[in-house]
Each structure stands twice: as structure tokens, then as C-alpha cells.
Amino acid sequence: MELDPEALELRERYAVMISLIVPRPIAWVSTISPDGVPNLAPFSFFTGITAKPMSVCFAPVNNRDGREKDSLVNARATGQFVVNLATEANAAAINQSSADYPYGVSEFEKVGLTPLPSVKVRPPRVKESPAQMECQLLRVVTIGEGPLAGNLVIGKVVHLSIADALWNGGQPRHQDLKAIGRMEGSWYARTGDAFELPRPSSVAKPPKS
């Protein structure tokens, strides 16, 4: 099958993207409105960028009516957001926090999560999440315009919190983190079936079969 993305319906493009780009890590993003109402939502178009400075990005796509997602509105207005680690224990809450609550309604309250004051930024962290990255907004890059246009929200991590039990000398183990990923449709992935391959030190010959 050879496909020209422009020849596909928007719905089909989205379906094939979320089916092929898997598994995706999930940023469980908390923000705060300028008048102090916390907001929380998951974003799986999410990745780290570099350690120098430690930076991450996530992509809130505009709603079908062209409205920007609350997380973007708040991150832009306050210049801050927090990425909370998405884990198996929080899967149902993560999913529930993606409901389209009106602007100004706190998903912390709706889902029954505990807002924990952050160390360096105003948006609260999710107490139930075992690791959080507090971020200062670096920039928003907009791709396309209007309904379903993309926005890449790039932030510098200004503070990192990790549960002591996970720290493991600076190399948390995936077996302990139990992070979850997003797949196509309404599927999620566990990270309990990982395998290990050491990085090659030089150009290696493929193993003989």
C-alpha cells in the first residue's frame, strides 16, 4: 500500500498515525489557569528532547471546533507546566482526565486526584504519580492552523521529583516504574515485556544465522 497523506481524510491520517507510532509515552500534564484553577490531561505525542538543557515537548492538537486545548492555553498564559509520570496504577485516572471538561473545571477534583504543590512552578503536581518534571515554557511551535492544527509545547525541566524507592542511584528501573504507553484506538501498553541489547561499540557484524 502506497499512500499520499494529503489524499487521505483527516480521520484516516490520524488513525494510521496513532496505529504506526507506537508505543507512545504519555505526558500527564498539569497546568494552572491565570486565576488559579488547576488542569490535568494526558498527551501521548510526547518526548524528551535533550539533557542540555533537560527539555521535553508535548503536542496538544486543537479541538475540532478550532479551540485550543486548556493545557496549551494555560501553559502559554503562565509559561509553566508539569509532566507527571503515567503509570499502571494511575491508568484509569489518566484515561478519565482526558474527558473534555469545560475550561475552568479542575480534573484533579473530577477524577479525585491530589494536587501537590510544586517546588519551582505554580501548577500543582499529581501526588499519586511517582515522578514529576516541573517545566518552564521555552516556546510553542504551531503546525497548521484552525481545527486539528498541532502545537508543540517545548519546556525546560527546572525541577525533577522522583519517589525515593524508584531512584536506584539515578537509573530508575522500568520494572519498578511500571510506566504505561499509548497504542491505537483505546489501547494502552504495559512496559513489563522489555528486552535488552547492549549498544554496539563499533560497526558490528550481524550474527550468523
Task: Please name the residues in contact with 16: beta carbons below 8 A apart, sequence gap of 6 or more.
Answer: 3, 8
Would you count residue 61 as binding ligand FMN (CB under 6 A)?
yes
Would you count residue 182 as binding ligand FMN (CB under 6 A)?
yes
CA 32 and chain centroid, separation: 16
Q: Which of 32, 56, 57, 59 binds ligand FMN (CB under 6 A)?
A: 59
Q: Which of 98, 136, 161, 191 binds ligand FMN (CB under 6 A)?
A: 98
By beta-carbon proximity to ligand FMN, the closer residue of 43 and 108 is 43
By beta-carbon proximity to ligand FMN, the closer residue of 20 and 165 is 20
Tell me how many residues contact ligand FMN (CB under 6 A).
Answer: 17
Residues 203, 29: Cα–Cα separation, whole Å: 40
Select the span of 53-61, 77-85, 162-170, 192-200 touching ligand FMN (CB under 6 A): 53-61
Task: Please name the residues in contact with 13: beta carbons below 8 A apart, sequence gap of 6 or more.
Answer: 5
By beta-carbon proximity to ligand FMN, the closer residue of 98 and 136 is 98
Q: Provide the b/e sequence for 121-142 (b: ≥16 CB within 10 Å).
A: bbbbbbebbbbbbbbbbbebee
Q: Which of 30, 38, 70, 172 binds ligand FMN (CB under 6 A)?
A: 70
Which parts of 101-130 interact with ligand FMN (CB under 6 A)? none
Residues 158, 134: Cα–Cα separation, whole Å: 6
Residues 97, 71: Cα–Cα separation, whole Å: 12
Task: Give the footprint of ligand FMN on this chain (CB under 6 A).
Answer: 26, 39, 41-45, 59-61, 69-71, 95, 98, 100, 182
